[in-house]
Amino acid sequence: MDEQTFTVSALNEYVKALLDSDPILRQVSVRGELSNYKVYPSGHHYFTMKDAEGSLRCVMFRFSAAKLRFRPENGMSVVATGRVTVYPRDGSYQLNVTGLMPEGVGDLQVAFEQLKAKLAAEGLFDPAHKKPLPLFPRRVAVITSGAGAAVHDIIRVLGKRWPLAKILVMPVRVQGMEAPPEIAGAIAYANRHALADLIITGRGGGSLEDLWAFNDERVARAIYASDIPVISAVGHEPDVTIADYVADRRAATPSNGAEIAGPDIQEVTAAVAQTDIRLRQAMAKKLEGLRRELDGLAARPALTDPEVYLGAKAMALDYARARLVAAAAKAAEEKRRAYVALAAKLDALSPLKVLGRGYAIAEKNGAAIRSAADAAVGDRIDVKLSGGSLDCVVEEVHCGEKG
């Protein structure tokens, strides 16, 4: 066999043709660890895959890179799929990667964790940012598929619980490439036009792939930016999405979302009835209190029985009068006693008593003659003595004689 001499590029081309024609190398999967990962402005990704003994140069062109659902990081264990090809300029071969998957866990799982960590670090899940839901919502925007079971579940449950709320269905796709911008767009639109005081967004259950729109960064940011409180109601109980973390409230299912959205009309009706009772009781108590106060005044004797009231006064008057009379009588009696004593004394001094003992009183013109000198001959004098008096005429006056 003749030895052939190749030019460098001819040899590279030969090897390239050889490798390109190998059916195994055309579609091969390689397990290894990512290193030296670089994204070029062109959109192409360049990196190296390594294991303990070797390394492999890899390129992923923009078109394939756009389909990545997670962000490849150095040190990550991955399985790359692609074709082996020669890069003629360097004479080296490389893996032209068309698909890249994290090893062990799904790429969506990795993407989920990556976005969750990123948004958490930015504070999108901060409880302090969460808004309270309206107690009695008036307009509820439901952003979900217009065709799925979710929208009907929400309408049914909310209609039963809180029919006062008007429901605005904003139909969007909830699956596929178009879903995230549609959902995010509807949330922003509802806010721009102040359409509702509460938003429920979500969909029924499905695989992680099906629910993926609710793990999209655009949806997460739209929920975060919403001034209208958002309830995230995605899938079944165990499904947790990024939207659930960002939303003001997480509901386990769409029906649960409707339960959270409004109060139970039965309970509210009962509460209003209870308030009615309290109002009436409070008013009745107030009136009763005033009535008692009035009764208390009316029960006073001056108003209830003026006769008794006046009778008491009359009795007091009688009593006072009796006391007055008694006091007067007592005073009179004392005076009488004093008079009797005085009279007795007077009696002792009475000239009549003296007359009884044989004396006589001579009177002239009604006045007693105290001395013989006071009488003159011819005077008519009246001599009073015991048993009567004598009319006499003085015949002689003897002065200086003992009488």
Partner 1 sequence: MAKKAEQMSFEQSLARLEEIVKSLEKGDAPLAESLGLFEEGAGLIRACGKLLDEAEQKVVQLRKGPDGEPEELPFE
- Is 292 a binding residue for partner 1 by CB under 8 A? The answer is no
CB of 266 to partner 1, least distance (A): 9
Contact status: 291 vs partner 1 (CB under 8 A): no
| Backbone φ, ψ for residue 382 (5° rounding) | -110, 120
3-state DSSP call for residue 268? helix
User: From the CB of 45, what's the least distance to partner 1, in Å?
Assistant: 38
Nearer to partner 1, 159 or 206 (CB): 159
Three state DSSP letters for 354-378? HHHCCCEEEEECCEECCCHHHCCCC
Among 84, 141, 223, 242, the residue binding partner 1 under the rule CB under 8 A is: 141
Which range in 121-129, 153-161, 318-326, 327-335 contacts partner 1 by CB under 8 A?
A: 153-161
Q: Minimum CB separation from partner 1 for residue 137, in Å?
A: 10
Residue closest to 14 by CA, chosen among 3, 2, 6, 4: 6
Give the up-direction half-sphere exposure of residue 277: CA atoms within 13 A in the CB hemisphere.
6
Task: Enumerate helices (H) and strands (E) in the chain, giving the number of each.
Answer: 13, 14
Binding segment (CB under 8 A) for partner 1, from list 110-118, 267-275, 315-323, 383-391: 267-275
Name 39's Cβ contacts closer than 8 Å, sequence gap at least 6.
45, 65
Q: Which CB sits closer to partner 1, 164 or 302?
A: 164
- Residue 350 is classified by DSSP as -
Q: What is the dihedral of CA 215, 218, 219, 224, to 10 degrees?
A: 110
- In the numeric block, which tokens belong to residue 187? 């949330």
Output the smallest distance, CB 167 to partner 1, in A: 4
Q: Minimum CB separation from partner 1 for residue 265, in Å?
A: 6
Residue of the chain from 6, 14, 136, 339 that contacts partner 1 (CB under 8 A): 136
Q: Does 155 bind partner 1 (CB under 8 A)?
A: yes
Query: Between β-strands 380-385 and 388-393, what pairing exists: parallel, antiparallel or unpaired?
Result: antiparallel
By CB under 8 A, name the binding residues for partner 1.
134-136, 138, 141, 146, 155, 158-159, 163-171, 189, 193, 195, 265, 268-269, 271-272, 275-276, 278-279, 282-283, 285-286, 289-290
